[in-house]
Amino acid sequence: MCIDRYPILGKYLNVSQMLNFIISALFLSLILTLNSARADFASNETSATGMCPANHKMYYIGANPPASTPSSLVVSQTLTWTAGQTTKSFTFTESSGNKTFTIAFSNILDKTTTAISAPPNAESPFYDSLSGVTNSAINLVHNSPVSATSRTNHVLDVKVNQSTSKTGYKIQDLDSTGATGQVPYIEQVDVSSSKGQLTFNNNFHTINAARDIVTARSGLNCGAGGCTIDAAWNYNLANIALNLKHNNTLSQVNSPHAVGYSDFYFCLAPPKLIIKKALNGNRVNDSDTKRDQFEITATGGSIATNSFTTTGTGSTITNGTSATLTLAENTSYTITERAINGTALGDIASYNATYTCTNATTGSTTVMPTAAMTYNATAKTRSFTLANTTYGDEITCTITNSVNNYNFSGTVFNDNGGITNANASNADIVTGPYANNTNYFNGVFDNTAPNAETVISDNDSTVDLTNCSGTIIASQPVAVNGLYSINVSAAQLAGYSNLCLVEKRKEGSTSFPIRTTSGSRSINFQSSTYNYPNNNFGRVIVENSALVLEKEQAANKCDITSLTDVSLKYSKDALNEKGDNPDIRPGQCIAYRITATNRANIPIDNFIMQDILQKKGINNATVTSVLTTPAREANVFNDGLSNGQNGTIRTISQTLPKRDKRIFYFNTKYGTTVDTQ
């Protein structure tokens, strides 16, 4: 639009009286030396003119913001400018980090003023709506010195402190004039250096094939809003200026002209994620028939499960990068890795795993995860969680594996089935606390209710990794949480084909003396398997021992014919001369009933019951006791004793089934207190 320095003369002055307009377009210069980590996030989603791509968030500066909707969020602020100011930053303050948009004019030539500005003759650049020229815009007014060559009379750079998916603004009143036959200016805008794109009005403009240079048609002049151009740039890195040059391509007579810039905006994409895989060293399995590869999966929110599987051999990872994943704001995502070899599922525990997540977005407050990856022994996977991302985030997470040390771990636990110490001595397996308690003394660490068991936390146990022949390879005291974990390198295990874990108690320790598991566990060691968990050792206190022996006695006159005769009053009480039992004078008999109860949920093998008959002079005995009739149960005893002999009652070796009992009977005759020999 032609700007008349002398409004009373109007816009139809002869050429010699007109001020020469030079509209020079300011374009941002984008140096395309993108570092690969951030260039991966570049995207060019389609969008309407002056609008952001769907589901991207717009930050708008101007007088006419678009409506904000759930799928097209818009935040805005008013465009203001101090006359003569060449640079200004507009900051959007958000909890996710401040976003700053900077407008900068430079290389301003041929500045002049116009009386139609408010206030009149404002210094360029200035904010105003110039009557018949621009609306709510930052305006620049130029003279147009006579020249047959193109002349740049200002440059406009805009930049954002975060990477943007789109940036743009409107250019108002790019035109020409030539009412007297001489052309004072032909305005042009050029965004080619920063790979921008322009719209144009065919009635007033021409555009080049690349659509990045628009030139006014010679002599054609438009009114306010009649020849507005939209300038836009797709993905751009943080703090990289987008450059526009405003040129006057021809001036046959000097005349003032104005151009305006308005409706600035930039777009932030939903948070983006790229997952990468790295390997430090070689694979555990690396043969043509069995080679480890790594499958990485991202799940969460509304994204479809996305995964990729590596290829490569040795230490080389190929196909080790995911697609660029679009996330939702403030949503949690799980990134999981597993090892596979061929069609078989490997165990990721064979590898150490670390990961790092970095956010290329400057100023973002999104906290990157740092917690160690979680191992799932059932699925044989490791995973970590990424949460609370926000618009504009450009996150790269790299998972790095290295061959693991061999790990042998387990728990030393109290195998008491949750039975309290107060009830520990109860031998009743029918109605007491041991009844139907499948957790008690079963050799398994049952730490869930009911009857939950606990760890042994007295620090008295140590677990050794041995060669099963006494050589200790590594050793670790059991922690107060009852856990042990022995890590050894491949070099430490070189030459060993047999491995055992041996649990032992500290010298002098008297607590938990009874084992419910073997004290030595043989390991099925495979050089390609690195994790050996759940090698647990069970113990109980004396009162919780599996075997309970109860001895009862019944005095008799040596005339009984059956050891289970109803006349026998078996009792745990001491015998005396009173009560139901017969006289217990020397020379009489005492029958014994010994009950062996296995309270455990595992059988007792090689069980032998022994009972020493008393002999005068030994352990303060005053009489000698000998075996007598009736005969004992056949095929139960193998002590070789005959009636009339003193010695040790002993049963055959047998298995005492779990949660069962055996009863043994025999009768003895006591001698007199007088030594007749």
Q: Quickly state the pLDDT bin for 76 (edges 50, 70, 90).
A: very high
Q: Quickly state the pLDDT bin for 673 (edges 50, 70, 90).
A: low
Asked if pLDDT for residue 3 goes beyond 80, the answer is: no
Rounded CA gap, 173 and 97, in Å?
36
| Domain-embedded: residue 510 | yes
pLDDT 10s digits, 500-542: 999 999 999 999 999 999 999 999 998 878 889 999 999 999 9
Closest C-alpha among 552, 621, 559 to residue 588: 559
Are 533 and 556 part of one and the same domain?
Answer: no
Are 314 and 211 part of one and the same domain?
Answer: no
Residues 6+ apart with CB under 8 A from 364: 96, 97, 162, 390, 392, 393
pLDDT at 4: 46
Are 159 and 104 part of one and the same domain?
Answer: yes
The pLDDT of 469-498, averaged and rounded, is 93
Burial code (b: 16+ CB inside 10 Å, e: under 16) for 486-523 equals bebeeeebeebeebbbbbebeeeeeebebbbbeeebeb
The pLDDT of 140-165, averaged and rounded, is 96
The pLDDT of 51-72, averaged and rounded, is 95
Asked if pLDDT for residue 400 goes beyond 50, the answer is: yes
DSSP 66-78: PPPBTTB-EEEE-
Rounded CA gap, 218 and 171, in Å?
18
Asked if pLDDT for residue 20 goes beyond 60, the answer is: no
Q: How many residues does the chain have?
A: 677
Q: Residue 306, class by beta-carbon neighbours within 10 Å (0-12 exposed, 13-18 middle, 19+ buried)?
A: middle
Q: Which two tokens stand for residue 539?
A: 């113990």
DSSP 521-561: EEE---TT--EE----EEEE-GGG-SEEEEEEEEEE-S--S
| Strands ordered across the beta sheet of 351-359 | 325-326, 272-279, 394-403, 351-359
Are 551 and 540 part of one and the same domain?
Answer: no
Q: Quickly state the pLDDT bin for 441 (edges 50, 70, 90).
A: very high
pLDDT 10s digits, 194-209: 999 999 999 999 999 9
End-of-domain residue from the set 387, 403, 419? 403
pLDDT at 514: 97
Mean of per-residue pLDDT scores for the chain: 90
- The SS3 assignment for 423 reads helix
What string of H, E and C letters represents the secondary structure of 284-339?
A: CCECCCCEEEEEEEEECCCCCCEEEECECCCCCCECCECCCEECCCCCCEEEEEEE
Are 244 and 111 part of one and the same domain?
Answer: yes
Rounded CA gap, 214 and 191, in Å?
9
pLDDT at 57: 97
Contact indicator for 189, 211 with CB cutoff of 8 Å = no
Contact indicator for 475, 463 with CB cutoff of 8 Å = yes
Are 110 and 175 part of one and the same domain?
Answer: yes
Which region among 248-257, 460-469, 572-581 has the lowest average model confidence (pLDDT)?
A: 572-581
Closest C-alpha among 168, 233, 237, 234 to residue 392: 237
Rounded CA gap, 489 and 252, in Å?
85
Q: Quickly state the pLDDT bin for 153 (edges 50, 70, 90).
A: very high
Domain of residue 377: give its range.
272-403
- For the chain, the domain total comes to 4
Q: Which two tokens stand for residue 607?
A: 């069980």
The amino acid present at 233, given as its one-letter code, is W
| Domain-embedded: residue 75 | yes
Q: How many CA atoms lie within 13 A of 75 on its CB side?
A: 15
Beta strands in 332-460 (DSSP E): 333-341, 344-345, 351-359, 374-376, 381-386, 394-403, 406-414, 454-455
The pLDDT of 470-492, averaged and rounded, is 93
Q: Between β-strands 205-207 and 213-216, what pairing exists: parallel, antiparallel or unpaired? A: antiparallel
| % of the chain residues with pLDDT over 70 | 92
What is the distance between the terminal CA atoms of the chain, rounded to a whole angstrom?
147
| Domain-embedded: residue 603 | yes
For residue 28, what are the β-bridge partners? 243
Q: Between β-strands 74-77 and 472-477, what pairing exists: parallel, antiparallel or unpaired? A: unpaired
End-of-domain residue from the set 544, 562, 594? 544
Are 353 and 492 part of one and the same domain?
Answer: no
| Domain-embedded: residue 71 | yes
Greatest CA span in the chain, whole angstroms? 162
Closest C-alpha among 129, 143, 118, 115 to residue 24: 143
Q: Which two tokens stand for residue 79?
A: 């465009």
| Domain-embedded: residue 119 | yes
Contact indicator for 134, 173 with CB cutoff of 8 Å = yes
pLDDT at 38: 53
Asked if pLDDT for residue 582 goes beyond 70, the answer is: no
Are 111 and 213 part of one and the same domain?
Answer: yes
**Segment holding 105, helix H or strand E:** strand 99-106
Are 325 and 336 part of one and the same domain?
Answer: yes
> Domain containing 426 — which CATH number?
2.60.40.1120
| Domain-embedded: residue 44 | no
* Residue with tokens 């507005």, as numbered in its chain: 228
Asked if pLDDT for residue 285 goes beyond 90, the answer is: no
Rounded CA gap, 519 and 537, in Å?
7
> Domain containing 350 — which CATH number?
2.60.40
| Domain-embedded: residue 420 | yes
End-of-domain residue from the set 503, 527, 544? 544
| Domain-embedded: residue 1 | no
Q: Which two tokens stand for residue 288?
A: 């043509």
Asked if pLDDT for residue 616 goes beyond 60, the answer is: yes
Rounded CA gap, 199 and 282, in Å?
55
Asked if pLDDT for residue 260 goes beyond 60, the answer is: yes
Higher pLDDT, 496 or 2: 496
| % of the chain residues with pLDDT over 90 | 80
Phi, psi of 48 (to 5 degrees): -75, 160
pLDDT at 235: 95
Cα distances from 379 to residues 84, 276, 567, in angstroms, run 67, 21, 65
Peptide bond into 630 cis (omega under 30): yes
pLDDT at 34: 34
The pTM for the full model equals 0.60
DSSP H helices in 393-481: none
Closest C-alpha among 486, 485, 478 to residue 512: 478
Contact indicator for 410, 486 with CB cutoff of 8 Å = no
Closest C-alpha among 410, 376, 404 to residue 527: 404
Q: Residue 245, class by beta-carbon neighbours within 10 Å (0-12 exposed, 13-18 middle, 19+ buried)?
A: buried
How are the residues of the chain apportioned to helix, strand and coil, as percentages rounded to the nearest 5?
5, 40, 55
The pLDDT of 402-411, averaged and rounded, is 90
Are 264 and 131 part of one and the same domain?
Answer: yes
Are 279 and 301 part of one and the same domain?
Answer: yes
Asked if pLDDT for residue 237 goes beyond 80, the answer is: yes
Are 344 and 301 part of one and the same domain?
Answer: yes
Residues 6+ apart with CB under 8 A from 618: none
